Amino acid sequence: MSSVLILVDGVNGQVAKSTGELATFAKRIGEVTAVVFDPSLIAGLTAFAIDKVVVVNGFDATKFSPAPIAETLAQLASAKQAKAVLVTSSARGKEVAGRLAVLTQSGVITDAIDVDADLITTQSVFGGSTTVHATVTHGCAVITLRSNSIEVLAGSGAPAQEEFTPTISDGAKLATVTSVEPAVKGGRPELTEATIVVSGGRGTNGDFKPVEAFADSLGAAVGASRAATDAGWYPHTHQVGQTGKTVSPQLYVACGISGAIQHRAGMQTSKLIVAINKDPEAPIFELADYGVVGDLFNVLPQATAAVAAKK
Ligand SMILES: Cc1cc2nc3c(=O)[nH]c(=O)nc-3n(C[C@H](O)[C@H](O)[C@H](O)COP(=O)(O)OP(=O)(O)OC[C@H]3O[C@@H](n4cnc5c(N)ncnc54)[C@H](O)[C@@H]3O)c2cc1C
């Protein structure tokens, strides 16, 4: 059976959900081998559909940068004759993928939202207006996959475990991480990993309280349009869109957002889109699966109360 490597992500003993998504995609292709650099993440891997775990020894997990990770994956891909290596589409993941592709002289595909058993990937480009299918035609397929693109398959037992000590070149050691401090955040989930995102736009007129209250009732992350972040109503780190973050949650609720192409670029691949807008002609309704024509200051408190009543 073909071997597929996935790179495990996570911090402080918490395996990122995106790792479970990589395992789910990898399972379609062949035997799933998870490569883990941080031993604190090993226990969490039983939750996912992983056949084998390779624990990488030899360098401090808190100091690794993309270069030694790429060298390790290249050595493992060769040793296991891997058909593909799947990595999460984060900035770090894409750097690892690019370096790995050079080291293995393989093709690389980034920001895929799907990959099938024949390694045909799907990408959503040009603001979601175009769907591209592509495949790697040379070497071991190096593919980065966007978070929230697939429902995670549960694991069915403890995977077999082995250890691996890579040979890291001096060049790959030229940059090391000197410290890592998790960002101080509230109780809400991280925007790009959230299953539900509730976003506010210019229609909030600067008052995000109803948006936040509705998000909290659903355990959702809060996003914002650029009009809202440029106005200083919400932090730029929450901006969704072409020049903000790309999200692909199961549910995206756009509140007081018109649906400009640059906003769509960051949320168009959401599984279910709900729009609340007082203008029935707002372009967001062309994209939405469900729409409420109304004032968000009336609609959101009622929706929040309805969710609370169901709990
Ligand atoms: C190069 C470039 C990059 C960009 N990048 C991004 C990006 O990353 N993300 C992004 O979002 N934008 C981006 N933009 C800006 C984008 O073009 C739009 O200007 C922006 O998305 C508009 O934000 P909005 O929908 O909140 O505001 P508007 O377009 O002003 O829409 C506000 C909407 O709220 C509705 N509304 C008003 N009051 C209420 C109410 N009380 N209840 C319900 N509905 C109400 C109105 O009917 C309207 O539809 C970019 C633009 C450029 C040129």
pLDDT digits (tens, 9 = 90+) for 144-193: 999 888 889 998 888 999 999 999 999 998 888 888 776 666 689 989 88
For 127-136, what is each residue's pLDDT tens digit?
667 899 999 9
Give the bridge partners for 34, in sequence order.
6, 53
**Res 91: pLDDT:** 86
Let me know: does 114 contact 150? Beta carbons within 8 Å: yes
- Hey, what amino acid is at 104? T
Q: Is 203 in the pocket of ligand 1 (CB under 6 A)?
A: yes
Q: Is 202 in the pocket of ligand 1 (CB under 6 A)?
A: yes
Let me know: does 136 contact 104? Beta carbons within 8 Å: no
Q: What are the domain boundaries of the chain?
A: 3-173, 196-310
For 96-126, what is each residue's pLDDT tens digit?
999 999 999 999 999 999 999 999 999 987 7
Let me know: does 38 contact 57? Beta carbons within 8 Å: no
CATH topology for 3-173 is Rossmann fold (3.40.50)
Q: Is 164 in the pocket of ligand 1 (CB under 6 A)?
A: no
Q: How far is the CA of 257 from the centre of ligand 1 (A)?
A: 5
Which residue's CA is the closest to the ligand 1 atom numbered 28?
258
49-78 per-residue burial string, b: 16 or more CB within 10 A, e: under 16: bbbbbbbbeebeeeebbbbbbbbbbbbbbe
Which residue's CA is the closest to the ligand 1 atom numbered 39?
203
Q: Is 243 in the pocket of ligand 1 (CB under 6 A)?
A: yes
Q: How far is the CA of 262 from the centre of ligand 1 (A)?
A: 9
Q: Is 262 in the pocket of ligand 1 (CB under 6 A)?
A: yes
CATH topology for 196-310 is Rossmann fold (3.40.50)
